[in-house]
């Protein structure tokens, strides 16, 4: 089965990909750990000023 590397860890298909052996839980864990922290982008400037 061909799988697009860009969608390999897609939240909509990750459970199926793990179940089918296309991705290991360890690979998925590493992928999540390597994601950048974008929590500072959670709110827009307008929302931050209104606090």
Q: How far apart are CA 14 and CA 4, in angstroms?
A: 12
- What pLDDT is attached to residue 47? 61
- Where are the chain's structural domains? 1-37
- What pLDDT is attached to residue 42? 87
- What pLDDT is attached to residue 20? 94
pTM greater than 0.75 (yes/no) = no
Helix (H) or strand (E) holding 33: helix 25-34
- What pLDDT is attached to residue 50? 57
In a structure prediction context, what are the per-residue pLDDT tens digits for the chain, which is 51 residues long? 667 888 899 999 999 999 999 999 999 999 999 999 999 888 866 665 555
For the CA atoms of 4, 26, 28, 34, what is the dihedral angle to 10 degrees?
A: -110
Half-sphere exposure of 20 (CA within 13 A, CB side): 10
């Amino acid at each position: 089965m061909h799988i697009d590397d860009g969608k390999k860890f897609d939240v909509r298909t990750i459970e199926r990909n793990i179940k089918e052996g296309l991705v290991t839980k360890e690979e998925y864990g590493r992928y999540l750990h390597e994601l950048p922290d974008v929590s500072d982008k959670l709110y827009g400037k307008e929302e931050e000023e209104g606090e």
